[in-house]
């Protein structure tokens, strides 16, 4: 599972759907089964999750593109010889000053070196973006998997080794907490 997902990063940092063009992606309509708790109820629950996952994938991709674009803009800015007249690119942080911590410059770069450093970072950010999107695909599949098994728990309880589990499942109406815990 993605650490960002566990920290609820996406819920607080989604790109608003309203800001996207109307034809960006088709809207996902929920599939609703009229028979209530039938064997296909898991499909309805899964389609309800599609809109959230669509937004998570889209937000991840857009933030990835923003980071890469920002690095390209920074490269152009720092390559401009007029920008670095009497300026330097600095990275601040905590440094050691005779055994005592204080804020200072961890890195000081001239314009040409700063431009190259920003451009060289593009490949790293692109790699992180691909890894993040792949991780989201794994989480999405796991989410659908959980929904299916929550609606079809008996499928997992086959065989003699699951005899106790089937007993707990069959008694879930009278002992719901025992089934939930199991």
CA 43 to chain centre: 23
Look at residue 96 in the predicted model and tell me its pLDDT.
87
Q: Using the structure block, give the residue that is written with the tokens 């296909």.
A: 40
Residues of the chain with pLDDT under 50: 1, 3-4, 7-8, 24-25
pTM equals 0.62
Would you call 180 exposed, middle or buried from its count of C-beta atoms within 10 A (0-12, 13-18, 19+)?
A: exposed
* Polymer length in residues for the chain: 182
Look at residue 33 in the predicted model and tell me its pLDDT.
55
Distance spanning both ends of the chain, measured CA to CA: 22
In the DSSP assignment, the letter for residue 99 is T
Look at residue 1 in the predicted model and tell me its pLDDT.
45
Please, which contacts does 146-149 make with residues 24 or more away whose CB atoms are closer than 8 Å? Answer: 147/42, 147/45, 147/46, 147/49, 148/42, 148/46
Look at residue 35 in the predicted model and tell me its pLDDT.
55
Look at residue 7 in the predicted model and tell me its pLDDT.
44
Return all residues near 163 (Cβ < 8 A) that are at least 6 apart.
Answer: none
Contact 60, 133 (CB under 8 A): yes
Contact 49, 139 (CB under 8 A): no
Look at residue 16 in the predicted model and tell me its pLDDT.
60
Look at residue 44 in the predicted model and tell me its pLDDT.
79
């Amino acid at each position: 599972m993605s650490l960002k997902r566990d920290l609820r990063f996406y819920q607080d940092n989604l790109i608003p759907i309203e800001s996207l063009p109307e034809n960006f992606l088709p809207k996902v309509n929920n599939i609703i089964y009229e028979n209530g708790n039938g064997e296909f109820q898991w499909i309805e629950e899964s389609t309800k999750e599609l809109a959230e996952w669509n937004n998570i994938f889209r937000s991840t991709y857009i933030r990835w593109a923003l980071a890469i674009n920002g690095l390209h803009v920074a490269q152009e800015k720092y390559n401009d010889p007029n920008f670095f007249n009497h300026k330097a690119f600095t990275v601040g942080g905590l440094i050691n000053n005779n055994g005592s911590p204080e804020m200072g410059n961890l890195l000081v770069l001239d314009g040409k070196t700063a431009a190259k450093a920003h451009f060289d970072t593009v490949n790293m950010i692109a790699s992180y973006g691909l890894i993040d999107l792949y991780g989201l695909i794994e989480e999405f599949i796991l989410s659908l998997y959980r929904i299916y098994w929550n609606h079809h728990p008996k499928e997992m309880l086959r065989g003699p080794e699951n005899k106790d589990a089937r007993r707990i499942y069959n008694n879930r109406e009278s002992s719901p907490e025992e089934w939930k815990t199991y």
